[in-house]
Amino acid sequence: MPNAAPMLRLEGVAKSFGPVAALRSGTLVVRPGSIHALVGENGAGKSTLVKIVGGVHRRDAGVVELDGTPVDFGGPAEAKAAGVAVIHQEPASFPDLTVTENIYLGREPLRRFRRIDRRAMRDGARELFRSLGVDLDPDRPAEGLSIADQQIVEIAKAISLDARVLVMDEPTAALSAVEVRRLFTVARGLRDAGRAVVFISHRLDEVADLCDTVTVMRDGAHVSTDAVADVTPDELVRRMVGRDVAELYPKVPSTPGEVALRVEGLESTGTFHDVSFEVRAGEIVGLAGLVGAGRSEIARAVFGVDRYDAGRVVVGGRVLTPGDPAAAIAAGLALVPEDRRLQGLVVESSVARNVSSVALRRRRAVLLPGAEAELARDWAGRLAVKAGALDADATTMSGGNQQKVVLAKWLATHPKVLIVDEPTRGIDVGTKAEVHRLLSGLAAQGLAVLMISSELSEVLGMADRVLVVREGRIVAELDRAAATPEAVMRAATPGASAVAEGGAA
């Protein structure tokens, strides 16, 4: 129904936070029975627009219409009641409650005397999952659900509310390929049922695969809306960044040198088994696999954050003490963790303090502000960190710049081996290329890089060699020529070679 009347229409929507205009002129027209992609760099105003649609923020100006009726939501509850549901990237669920309770919270079916009708509730949940074509136990607690399953619970909740507009805010960022495929099947089902779906993603291949219409935003304003078939991904990227992206994966060829990191028979009961590999100086080794396959756990054990039961880690000829990150740092190992807000960055601290936190700790007992600033200026300059001032809090920066600060922090220790876990997760296209160029340049200078990434094209584009992890084991080692998307996916997906070929569903 491409020509049906719009289900959701936003025009010229604006929102400012203090002096900062987060959204200048947001325009989005979504029709029923359509999956509409919303793309743009971080800071383009997508999230603000979504929050206005979802009732989290109130707009300053512009029109929002639902089914032709102007609306102005005072809160998330109002938006939900009107039939707009936002599925967040990492949904907020209640771990102590069951899946069923999570779906029906606040509007449980009631029996006499306003008592909750648990049986009706459970049957309802079961029916919802059946209609979505997914297999989830309605009685299990939400604790321990994968992010993908949490999103499914959110979608089930939205459908039980009879949401007509579902906004998925970067739902696939933390999902494995199989989970993405399941989500797409669910999204197509919603589309075929005549609902309107807004799909936000950084991954243009997903946009091409799933969506029928695509709206590009840049700098808080609408750029273009087209049928997906009418625009090429290159053209979309050009519109998003407003300039040509020279090359997304600027891999500099390099000649591997000495073995910088050797891992032998690393074993951690229940997490990973018999992990052995080498990374040479000047080499980028990609660690590919599904989310939850144990890649981050391996990295954390190698770095000494987590303990392991057997095996050893050798850096530059020295065997590292298990469970001692300080020894790892001293030996020349650096780890840029997956979640920079939680593990890599002291977001409330200044950029200077963040950059110098590891390097200076090793040398002096007392930190001199002058030394901090000097070190920070040096590295911020090299990495092109855009921060108003080095004494600004890291929390005020964009995700891309935060990532650069974390990188700077570790590079200031002059490591021999750099482990990066999801280095470009949640970073916009422009900054992504900068991070890639940086990693590639560092490898060319002789740094050994171990890169974990869930984005297949990133691994394939950047790595000299690819190690595939499946269920805690390294199941394949592919050199640059042999590492095709199909080969990696086939190795990474448990027990289903059919998935790699014909699983587009």
Length of the chain, please?
Answer: 505
Q: Which is nearer to another protein, 21 or 487 (CB)?
A: 487
| Best CA proximity match to 471, nearest among 453, 493, 449, 450 | 493
Q: Which is nearer to another protein, 37 or 290 (CB)?
A: 290
Q: By CB under 8 A, how many residues form the interface with another protein?
A: 51
Could you tell me which of 119, 190, 192, 118 has the C-alpha nearest to residue 161? 190
Structure tokens at 483: 């590492």
Two tokens, residue 410 = 């570790």
Among 2, 18, 253, 270, binds another protein (CB under 8 A): 270
Find the shortest distance in angstroms from Cβ 95 to another protein: 6
CA–chain centroid gap for 241, Å, is 19
Please list every residue from 177 through 216 that binds another protein, using CB under 8 A.
178-179, 181-182, 185-186
Check residue 89 for interaction with another protein (CB under 8 A).
no
Name the one range near another protein by CB under 8 A: 28-36, 138-146, 229-237, 326-334.
138-146
Is 464 within 8 Å of 487 (Cβ atoms)?
no
6 within 8 A of 213, measured Cβ to Cβ: no
The neighbour count for residue 6, using CB atoms within 10 Å, is: 17
Our CB check for another protein shows the closer of 109 and 399 to be 109
Question: For residue 267, what is the enclosing H or E element?
Answer: strand 259-268
Q: Candidates 41, 149, 422, 434: give the one binding another protein (CB under 8 A).
A: 149
Query: Which distant-in-sequence residues (6+ apart) come within 8 Å of 236 by Cβ?
Result: 39, 204, 207, 214, 216
Q: Which is nearer to another protein, 308 or 379 (CB)?
A: 308
Least separation in angstroms between CB 408 and another protein: 31
CA distance 67 to 72: 13
Per DSSP, the three-state class of 170 is coil
Based on the shown chain and the rule CB under 8 A, indicate whether residue 164 belongs to the binding site for another protein. no
Q: Does 134 bind another protein (CB under 8 A)?
A: yes
**Out of 19, 20, 68, 135, which residue is the one contacting another protein (CB under 8 A)?**
135
Report DSSP letters for 448-474, one per residue. Answer: EEEEE-S-HHHHHHH-SEEEEEETTEE
Shortest approach of another protein to residue 491 CB, angstroms? 11
Q: Which span (255-263, 354-362, 376-384, 493-501) binds another protein, by CB under 8 A?
A: 493-501
**150 vs 401 by CB, closer to another protein:** 150
For residues 465 to 484, the per-residue mask of contacts with another protein, x marking binding by CB under 8 A and - elsewhere, is ------xx------------
Positions in 384-403 near another protein (CB under 8 A)? none
Distance CA 190, CA 34 (A): 9
Cα 287 to the center of its chain, rounded Å: 16
Per rule CB under 8 A, is residue 71 in the interface with another protein?
no
Kind of pairing between the strands at 61-66 and 69-70: antiparallel
By CB under 8 A, the residues from 278 to 337 that bind another protein are 290, 292
Alpha carbon distance 217, 420 (integer Å): 30
CB of residue 363 to another protein, shortest distance in Å: 38
Applying CB under 8 A, the span of 31-39, 146-154, 253-261, 455-463 interacting with another protein comes to 146-154
Q: Is 92 in the site for another protein (CB under 8 A)?
A: yes
Q: Does 110 bind another protein (CB under 8 A)?
A: yes
| Adjacency order of strands within the sheet including 310-315 | 272-280, 259-268, 310-315, 318-319
Nearer to another protein, 78 or 324 (CB): 78
Q: By CB under 8 A, name the binding residues for another protein.
A: 75-77, 80, 92-97, 101, 105-108, 110, 114-116, 133-135, 140-141, 143-146, 148-149, 176, 178-179, 181-182, 185-186, 269-270, 290, 292, 471-472, 493-496, 498-499, 503, 505
